[in-house]
Structure formats: C-alpha cells, structure tokens
Structure 1
Amino acid sequence: MLDAWLASLSDPLFRLPLLTGLLLAALLPVIGALLMLRDEWLAALGLSHIAAASALLGSALGLPTLVGGTAGALAGGALKTRFEARGNLAYAFMILVGWSATLLIGANTELGERLAHALVEGQLYFAGVAELVAALALIAAAIWILPRILPQLLRSRFFPRFEQANALPAWRWHLAMDLLAAATLAIGTLTVGLMGAFALVLVPAWVIFRVAPSWRWTLIGSGLVGISAHLVAFALALQLDQPFGPMLVAVLLGIAASMLLPKAWRGSPPAS
C-alpha cells in the first residue's frame, strides 16, 4: 500500500487528484465540526444534494458542473439564512428537493444518468486544475473567514439569546458560515462524491468530539482524521482498482468503528 501511494505521488496522472483531495479532506471535517456545533450536521447531505442537482442542471444548460454545482449550493445556503432557518429541518427539505431534481434531470437529459452516477460515486481521479484552484480558494476563504466568525458562532451556540438582547447583526456571521459550508460541500460533492463529502463532514467530527480536550484540538483533530483517511483510501483505491468515493467512506467507517469497539469490549459481560 505504501509503495502504491508513493508511486501515485510521482505519477502526473494522480498528482492533481491527490493534492485536491488532500485540501478538501482537511477542510470538510473542520466545516463538519462547526456544523455539529450548530446541530446542523444534516447540511452535508442537504447542500450536497442541491449541488448535485444544480450541477446536472448547469450541465444541461451548457455550464461546467463546477460552476453549476457551486452556484446552486450557494443559493441554498443564502436562502437558508434569508429565511432564518436553523437546525436540520431546512436541510432535510434540501435533500428531498435535490434528490428528486437530480433523478428527474438525469433521466431527461443527454448523458444525465451517467453524470448523476458520477456525482454520487465521486470524480476525484478526473480532478484537474480547475478543481485544485477551487480547493485552494476554499482554503484561503476559510483561513480568512473562520477566525472572524468563530467566536460569534460559539457564543450563539452557548448563549443563544445574547445576540437578540444586544441587537447584534447575527445574520452576517450566520450567512458567512452558510455560504462557506455551501461552497465547500459543493466542491467536495463534485470531487469526492456526495456520500464521500458527507462522510468527511460527519465522521471525523464525530470521532474527535469524543476525545478532543478543547475546541481548538477539535478543529485540528478533525482535519487530521480527514487527511489520514484520504491518504489511506487513495492508496487502497489505487492498489485494489476501486472507486475512490466508496473506499473513502469505508475507511472512515473503519475509523468510527475503532472508536466504538473498545467501549463495546469493556461493556461486554465476562466470559464464563
């Protein structure tokens, strides 16, 4: 596995996909930790479904999938903030809208079914310069935005009435968070796939929330788990000739299981 991974680093065919995936695998879990802080982890599926549907629609209209998917997800995030929707209910409706639109558009457009399948499975092996630039732009945006809104997000979680009592413009940082999450999940869906992006948002944050001693280590640990899972999945997928998206999900599920097994072992009755 190590030899296969090292070979992929020197192979120009896989260099860009590997780097693009690494950037997204570092950022998506951080976004996931923030979404779990807000009790909005279902955003990963809601925004991913909207991104997939809008990518298909954009393709049908002659737009690149990267443009169509990102625009649709940003619109979904902006509407959520505009209507002051909080929690997972808004994202549940996004899942329904995105799922039905994806299947209907895919069934009624040329090459739609094939593209819809690729969006679910992931297209990391075909990631190019455009996807790498988009991932770098997301990292830069996160580095600039998150330090400015993180204190407000933490305060709104633990002191929810503080903003209203002090007449603060809370919509500003909630909108910034919603748009950053939407853009990240759109690019993630179009590269590692719908379920791959969802797993990167959910599993690392869930794992680290159980062991991290502080909020800073929660963010750092989530990113490290995502990067580690990406590297292992990339090497296994190349060595075993498997699609990357399902392999990434399998690796992340293995990490989650490794957190549960010790607890289950300690709680099991002693052998007779």
Structure 2
Amino acid sequence: MDELFLRPFLTGLCLALFLPWLGNLLRLRDEWFATLGLAHLSAAGAMLAQALGISILVGSPLGALCGALAKLAAGARSNAAYGVMMLAGWSATLLVAANGGAGEALGHALIDGQLYFSGPAEALIACLLLVGGVVLLPLLTPRLIAAVLFPANEKVNRLPAWRWHLGFECLVVIAVAIATASIGLMACFALLFVPAWVSFGRAVSWRQGVLLSIVLGLGCYVAAFFTALRFDQPFGPVLVGLLVMACLGLRAGLSRRHG
C-alpha cells in the first residue's frame, strides 16, 4: 500500500473494528438511531467551531456531548430522543453553513466523509478510541445488559447507574464524532446499524453476535477501501453499498435456512 493511504486505512480500520461492536449495545438498548442524532449535532458543533476559529476536532465531540447530556438528564432512552437531536442538528448545521464562508464545503465533507484526507490527529484519536473500547466495553456490557433485562434492578438496589450510562454515552459521542469527521455520517451509521442488525438475526449468543458483527464490518470496510481506491470512487457510498448487499445476502440465506 502507498504510504500516502496507510494512515487513512488504519484510521478507518480502527473505526471498522469498534463501531460494529458498539452497534450491538445500541441495538440492545433500542438506540440504533443514535448515529444520525449525535452525528447531526456533531456536525453542527464542527460548523460552529469553524465559525469561531476553533478546531473541528474540539467542536464536533462537544456538539454531540451536549445532546447526550441533555438526553441523560431527561432520562430518555429511546430513538425518539435521537430523532429530536437529528432535527436540531440538521437545522443548526444548514443555518451555519448558509451563513459561513466555507461552511457549505465542510458540511458536505461531514456528510460524505473525507477518509483519504485523514491526518495524524484523526488516526491517533481513532486508535485511542479502539483501545478505550477494548478496555471499557467489557466492563460496561454486563451492566448495560442487566439494565435492559432487569430495568428495576438499578432503582431498587440504589445503584449509581448514571456512571455506566454516562460512560457509555460519552463513548458513543466520541465514536460518532470521529467517525462522522473521518468516514462520513451515513458510513458511520451503516457500520453501527447493519452488522448489529445481521448479528441479532443469526447469532445464538452475545459473544458470537459481537464477533459476527465485527467480522462483517471489518470485511466490508477492507473491500470498500480498496475498491473505492482502485476505481476512483467515493469511499462512503461504496462502503454503505457493500454493507447493504452483505446484509441482504446474509438475511436472505437465513430466511431460506428457516424456510
């Protein structure tokens, strides 16, 4: 591989390993819509940061974090909260883009992704995100699963549930912010949603489901990266297209098996 594309490849590789894993927990909590809600707020934060002369790597996570904190404070755990975030972020992003100098170009970059232009900062953050996920998710997962299966347990036993819920929200915020800036909004959503959707329909255990989703996301990412590079195509649409085809193929195979 050309050295020019090595850093973008590693940046996306870290995200392709982490996002499907995270997607399983979002689907379990019925919050798979999180990407679109948080990503729009992330984009709005990035646009405002640029208008104020601040790095988008600072403004992007802050925008998403504001939404996550508001949702946590309101006690809302559903896709409806993320739908409100998406509308608010979409409105703010387009208004800032319409009144800013380079806002329109940045808005397109955040939606379409700019993986091939990822720099050292994006690569470092993606790597740290993966390392943090490997450390934190095994600790958070049992508590988050218990919160879904036994929702009254935290309240009855007066557990400090806000710690793991807030920790998970922060992890999602950082993941969505860096993924939106690197691979684009829809590619980020596809990696969070599609592999988890497939694994929930085929896996017989939580561990198998996580492994299946990671393998699917990673395989489609590698294929999309080199296909887009070889045929000079935009990376985001190629990745989303491959994920959708893989999803339809696997689910069709599952239907025939049970038929």
TM-score (norm 2): 0.96
Q: Which segment is superposed worse, 141-150 or 222-231?
A: 141-150
Q: Which segment is superposed worse, 191-200 or 132-141?
A: 132-141
CA distance in 1, matches of 2:158, 2:80: 26
CA distance in 2, matches of 1:216, 1:133: 28
CA distance in 2, matches of 1:234, 1:88: 30
Q: Which segment is superposed worse, 134-143 or 177-186?
A: 134-143
Matches within 5 A, 1:171-210: 171-210=162-201
Cα RMSD (Å): 1.5
Amino acid in the other structure paired with 1:68: G
- Work out which of the residue numbers 93, 116, 121 in structure 2 matches 1:102: 93
Please state whether the residue corresponding to 1:210 is helix, strand or coil.
helix
Alignment partner, residue 248 of structure 2? 257
- Work out which of the residue numbers 220, 235, 243 in structure 2 matches 1:229: 220
Computing the radius of gyration over CA atoms, which structure comes out larger, 1 or 2?
1
Amino acid in the other structure paired with 1:256: C
CA distance in 1, matches of 2:234, 2:54: 26
- Is contact 2:20–2:213 with CA below 8 Å preserved after alignment? yes
CA distance in 2, matches of 1:12, 1:107: 37
Amino acid in the other structure paired with 1:28: L
Unaligned runs of 5+ in 2: none
Alignment partner, residue 158 of structure 1? 149
Alignment partner, residue 17 of structure 1? 8
CA distance in 2, matches of 1:164, 1:226: 36
- Work out which of the residue numbers 62, 70, 76 in structure 1 matches 2:61: 70
Alignment partner, residue 119 of structure 2? 128
Change (3 A) 1:263 1:136: closer
Change (3 A) 1:24 1:267: closer
Change (3 A) 1:266 1:162: closer
Alignment partner, residue 35 of structure 1? 26
- Is contact 2:39–2:185 with CA below 8 Å preserved after alignment? yes
Residues 65-99 of structure 1, C-alpha deviations (whole Å, 9 max, x = no match): 22111121122222221221111111010000011
Unaligned runs of 5+ in 1: 1-8
CA distance in 2, matches of 1:214, 1:104: 45
Q: Number of matched residues?
A: 259
Change (3 A) 1:252 1:37: same
2:82 matched to 1:57? no
Q: Which segment is superposed worse, 46-55 or 62-71?
A: 62-71
Matches within 5 A, 1:84-103: 84-103=75-94
Identical counterparts, % of pairs = 48
Residues 43-69 of structure 1, C-alpha deviations (whole Å, 9 max, x = no match): 011111111111111111111222111
- Is contact 2:38–2:86 with CA below 8 Å preserved after alignment? yes
Residues 207-255 of structure 1, C-alpha deviations (whole Å, 9 max, x = no match): 1111112111212221111111110100110111111111111111111
Please state whether the residue corresponding to 1:66 is helix, strand or coil.
helix
CA distance in 2, matches of 1:258, 1:36: 20
Amino acid in the other structure paired with 2:248: A
